[in-house]
Structure 1
Amino acid sequence: MLRSALLATCMLAAGLAAAQAPAQAQPQPQPTRTLTIGMAGIPTGMDPHYHSSNNNNAQLRQIFNPLLDLDTQSRIFPVLAESWRNIDDLTWEFRLREGVRFHDGTPFEAEDVAFSFARVPQVPNSPGPFTPMVRTIAEVRIIDPRTIHVITREPAPFFDRDITAIMILSRRIHANAVLGDFNQGRALIGTGAYRHVSYAQGERHEFTRNPDFWGPRPAWDRVITRYMTNNGARVAALLAGDVDLIDAVPVQDVQRLSQDPRLAVFTADSITTSYLMPDTVRDQAPFVTDKQGNPLPRNPLRDLRVRQAISLAIPREAIVSRLLVGQGRAAEQFAAPALPDRVQGLPPMATDLARARALLAEAGFPDGFRMTIHGPNGFIPSDADILQAIAQGLTRIGIETRVEVLPPANFFTRATAREFGMFMTTFTTSTAANMLRQVVATRDPVTGFGPFNRQHYSNPAVDAPLSEALRTMNPERRLALTAQAMRAATDDLGVIPVHYLRVSWAAQRARVRYDASPIWYTNALLASPAE
């Protein structure tokens, strides 16, 4: 785990110094270590409770801490809570770390945990809220200054995993903080390993080591993240030595950079799935017309046969093998292969253009129709190219398809406002049940289900077993219910899976090692000096 690696590094450095120094030698000042990162994705907001996106979460983890976190093997480890346990089906006990302070000296207290959990559902205008992670909390009881009990309304088997997503804020510092306060840096005060120095949205973010950090000394004294959405510019900056580390290595450059003796490439099979989400609800879908641009008498995306035809037209294997040069895997369900509760043994999703045309004819669209699919540009490797490949496949079966890509912040705002007929995006999580809960389950503000269900899809065959799974403590029964819900989602194609991401980072070999994250987090916490 990360904290163990940091601690080991610090102990090793201390041991070497002791062995080599003269008995009476005075301590020598340590050279300043600066890490410069070229990052492809631009965060959409600096409030850690505003938008659950990989870019946001990765950057903000350097400043803020959760109670518990996930390492790069998806194992839970303690952070602000030094231990935790399930007392009974409804009660979780957390023992809080002692002596932790926020960057301005404000002490971390048990009341801050209650404040943070309560704040999450109140953040306005979130394009991707964290609400499901705290949806089951009925009460937070402060037993003593270092012990809290979280009482849930129903059994919540994933609660400890869920709250790894929730950064802990201070009720004293952040009680009235809004998104603008975080974006301007005024509220970027956490308990994390790095302190905020400056932030220019879309350009760069600078951090400095927190000298009062409660954990092992961070590896870097200064961290500069440069937001570089252009693939060529990002690779060129690495080759020129202007940055030490880049993420989202273009798929066509992975092999070339791997063979460069000056560089090291670090790769992981992610727990991220790319998918299409069609509008299956409204009678008229935006950007879906006949081939002359006129409204259709009905929304074709509501017909399962049309969704099946779309899926059959997607050249998944060709996208992975040719377009992504093997950097990924064709999807056969919504959940990525590394997720422990995914369905086993599902067949590959076929590509069959003749069958797709026949299904369109059966659905009453023998001549097809016209559609625009939308997506973010620069959010995942080759996203615009993947969309073009999908559009070409759909056009071959008679669905005349155009592509429009947008900057991620604009895209997610418009997708949440339901401005698209069909769009492509991704979802990352550590359990299949949570993927379904967040993206496929019927939207419900009371339970917090479906915050990423931007097209308001609804399917009782998914909701019923999923709801039961999420309150079932027995792991075998929970696995069976999750599989039932996943099969229903796969059969109905309310979301149409495309591929599972393989993600890569490249670094100056003599400078940096990187612990490649299946969550595709890019930050200084996962980077260590190469020496």
Structure 2
Amino acid sequence: MTDLTAIGRRTLLGGLVAAAAIPARAANGPRHLTLAAIAAPTALDPHFYNSPTNNQALRQIYDTLTVEDVHGQLQPGLATSWRNVSPLVWEFDLRSGVRFHDGTPLVPDDVAFSVARVPQVPNSAGPFLSFINSIERVEATGDTSLRVVTNRPNPFLLRDLGSIFILSRRLHENGATADFNTGRLAVGTGPYRYTGFTLGERLELAGNDAYWGGRPDWDTVSIRYVSNGGARIAGLLAGDFDLVDGIPAQDVARLSAQPNLSVAGLNSAHSAYLFPDTDRDEAPFVTDRAGRPLGRNPLKDVRVRQALSLAIHRAGLVDRLLQGQGQVADQFAPLAAPDRLPGLPPLPTDLARARALLSEAGYPNGFNLTIHGPSGYFNGDAAVLAGIAQGFTRIGVQTTAETLPLSVFFTRATRREFALFLSTYGSTSGVDLLRQIVATRRTEERTGAFNRQHYANPDVDVPLTGALREMDDDRRLALSRQAQQALLNDLGVLPLFYVRYNWAGRRDKVRYEPGNAYGHTNVNYARSAA
């Protein structure tokens, strides 16, 4: 595992990020960039909803204290250095001279305000609570210094703070989510300023010439949200878009061969998985073969989950449906997580064994099942869901695949309306992945923020809780792997593959270089080709 404690104890100079992540504008380069993105943010309130589509839009406008680079390593953001002075106390130095887009200076109290605001934002389907649950208080110790006091040892504090966008108490106190969407409060310290937003359609930005990391490449940026992959590609080829993300898998090779285009790819830290309802005695969208209620939830039986896993041909999903644009999963944690389980064989496909397990579990004739997934969340999501349904049907579980628009899908998933659904989550830490997705939901501890199926397993929770508090690297690694192995044994989630993201741009206009491990599309990684 990455030595977070050691990282926290050494001083990291702020110039590192400025040099590595923020391009300087070419003297005669183009000033306007048009980007077509696959998915739109649901809000511009940076504490409203922790999702990849929201976060990639927010990182254009707002900053965090720390950031992760493309290798998952921590780098300075608004904080230039930090020290873990005792198990419960961290000290941070802020960049001097940083101002919000309206000229308001950044002060240490803004960090305290931002942390305190997170649990106050109403109606979030994916809150940021787990990132601040260990923080007891934040206090200024100088004009550009602050202290974070935790209620328990937290070796992941630096990464947690990399997920909390910093707002201004002076500007944003009492601000509602709607005030950010209208632009009135969409004011950050980031490289680009808000100039316009139409929900589901577009985000307009202007370069922040006073940005602490250096003047951005682009004077203005138009981000259009186009969920249809063919339409994004057609717009790129027609010259309507300078850069597009979410390149359909079948188009990667064709676009890469075109001399006027530049294609970039990233094997990301996003894990694609199926999440079964193992909590309720009766689950929706599960019936017998005649369409009648079963009277019990077959997904609660680990043998049924094993059978479903054995029915998934993961290599086929990646090789055929995704045209090789992904990596087959052998566990939940992605390849970018240094604490993942080592030396595992591929997850097997065995239809005969799957049928036998169903019979052992009391379902010799199978049952009917509808599985759900998002449409336009990642490339090929609908095709993947259909391919999984075909595999289930082959073992006697007659399965229908239903995809839904993002906003509808995640709202319904949060309401627990599905028996089994497809999703992804990105993390460079196996511990964080489990904390967010499968840790038992406990309001007071703010765990399981994305545990939408209310999964609960003490064999996972106990070592996971220990890992989240253990400052010793070796002991933390052992606890992390114990929790991950328990989850894999139980198949509380069914791992599928690790997502690959691709971008294509006009070679004479822009070069895109992924700057983080998550596949977030960030205009600051789009460099002028002039």
Q: Is TM (by shorter chain) over 0.5?
A: yes
How many Å separate the matches in 1 of 2:21 and 2:402?
Answer: 43
Q: In the alignment, what sits opposite 1:221?
A: 219
How many Å separate the matches in 2 of 1:469 and 1:518?
Answer: 23
Amino acid at match of 1:526: Y
Q: CA deviation at 1:197?
A: 0.4
Q: CA deviation at 1:211?
A: 2.6
How many Å separate the matches in 2 of 1:321 and 1:382?
Answer: 12
Q: In the alignment, what sits opposite 1:251?
A: 249
Secondary structure of the structure 2 residue equivalent to 1:165? coil
Amino acid at match of 1:224: S
Q: In the alignment, what sits opposite 1:525?
A: 524
- The one-character-per-residue Cα deviations of 1:149-171 (angstroms, maximum 9, x if unpaired) are 10111111010011111100111
Structure 1: unaligned runs, 5 residues or longer: 18-29
Q: Does 1:433 align with 2:431?
A: yes
Amino acid at match of 1:158: F
Asked whether the equivalents of residues 312 and 352 of structure 1 are also in contact (C-alpha less than 8 Å), the reply is yes
Q: In the alignment, what sits opposite 2:229?
A: 231
Q: In the alignment, what sits opposite 1:412?
A: 410
Q: In the alignment, what sits opposite 2:312?
A: 314
Amino acid at match of 1:3: A
Q: In the alignment, what sits opposite 2:10?
A: none
Q: In the alignment, what sits opposite 2:275?
A: 277
Q: In the alignment, what sits opposite 1:463?
A: 461
Q: Does 1:4 align with 2:19?
A: yes
Q: In the alignment, what sits opposite 2:37?
A: 39
How many Å separate the matches in 1 of 2:332 and 2:362?
Answer: 28
Q: CA deviation at 1:31?
A: 6.5
How many Å separate the matches in 2 of 1:43 and 1:301?
Answer: 32
- The one-character-per-residue Cα deviations of 1:464-483 (angstroms, maximum 9, x if unpaired) are 00110111111111111100
Q: CA deviation at 1:354?
A: 0.6
- The one-character-per-residue Cα deviations of 1:416-461 (angstroms, maximum 9, x if unpaired) are 1111111000000121110000001101111111010000000000
Asked whether the equivalents of residues 2 and 526 of structure 1 are also in contact (C-alpha less than 8 Å), the reply is no
How many Å separate the matches in 1 of 2:71 and 2:385?
Answer: 30
Q: In the alignment, what sits opposite 2:290?
A: 292
Q: In the alignment, what sits opposite 2:4?
A: none
Change (3 A) 1:8 1:239: closer
Asked whether the equivalents of residues 6 and 216 of structure 1 are also in contact (C-alpha less than 8 Å), the reply is no
Secondary structure of the structure 2 residue equivalent to 1:403? strand
2:147 to 135, 146, 149: 149
Amino acid at match of 2:528: P
How many Å separate the matches in 1 of 2:324 and 2:137?
Answer: 48
1:164 to 159, 162, 176: 162
- The one-character-per-residue Cα deviations of 1:281-332 (angstroms, maximum 9, x if unpaired) are 1011011111222111210000000000010001101111111111111111
Q: In the alignment, what sits opposite 1:26?
A: none
Asked whether the equivalents of residues 22 and 524 of structure 2 are also in contact (C-alpha less than 8 Å), the reply is no
How many Å separate the matches in 2 of 1:144 and 1:525?
Answer: 31
Q: In the alignment, what sits opposite 1:401?
A: 399
How many Å separate the matches in 2 of 1:274 and 1:7?
Answer: 30
How many Å separate the matches in 2 of 1:244 and 1:232?
Answer: 15
Q: In the alignment, what sits opposite 1:138?
A: 136
Q: In the alignment, what sits opposite 1:482?
A: 480
Total equivalences in the alignment: 514
Secondary structure of the structure 1 residue equivalent to 2:233? helix
Asked whether the equivalents of residues 6 and 217 of structure 1 are also in contact (C-alpha less than 8 Å), the reply is no
Secondary structure of the structure 1 residue equivalent to 2:254? helix
How many Å separate the matches in 1 of 2:442 and 2:232?
Answer: 41
Secondary structure of the structure 1 residue equivalent to 2:61? coil
Q: CA deviation at 1:5?
A: 3.7
- The one-character-per-residue Cα deviations of 1:182-210 (angstroms, maximum 9, x if unpaired) are 12222101111111000011111110011
1:503 to 501, 504, 509: 501
- The one-character-per-residue Cα deviations of 1:252-292 (angstroms, maximum 9, x if unpaired) are 00000000001111011100010000110101101111122
Change (3 A) 1:8 1:319: closer
Asked whether the equivalents of residues 6 and 218 of structure 1 are also in contact (C-alpha less than 8 Å), the reply is no
Q: Identity across aligned pairs (percent)?
A: 53
Secondary structure of the structure 1 residue equivalent to 2:60? coil
Amino acid at match of 1:180: A
| Aligned 1:12-161 pairs, distance under 5 A | 33-161=31-159
Asked whether the equivalents of residues 416 and 452 of structure 2 are also in contact (C-alpha less than 8 Å), the reply is yes
Change (3 A) 1:31 1:268: closer
1:442 to 440, 443, 449: 440
Q: CA deviation at 1:518?
A: 2.6
* TM-score between both structures, scaled by the size of structure 2: 0.95
Bigger drift between 351-360 and 92-101 goes to: 92-101
CA RMSD of aligned residues (A): 1.3
How many Å separate the matches in 2 of 1:102 and 1:513?
Answer: 28
Asked whether the equivalents of residues 6 and 219 of structure 1 are also in contact (C-alpha less than 8 Å), the reply is no
Q: In the alignment, what sits opposite 1:21?
A: none
Amino acid at match of 1:111: D
Amino acid at match of 2:284: P
How many Å separate the matches in 1 of 2:93 and 2:20?
Answer: 23
Q: CA deviation at 1:6?
A: 5.8
How many Å separate the matches in 1 of 2:213 and 2:327?
Answer: 38
Amino acid at match of 1:518: A
| Aligned 1:316-331 pairs, distance under 5 A | 316-331=314-329
Secondary structure of the structure 1 residue equivalent to 2:273? strand
Amino acid at match of 2:298: P
- Structure 1 residue ranges, 4+ long, deviating more than 3 angstroms after superposition: 5-10
How many Å separate the matches in 2 of 1:8 and 1:469?
Answer: 37
Structure 2: unaligned runs, 5 residues or longer: 1-15
Amino acid at match of 1:227: Y
Amino acid at match of 1:285: A
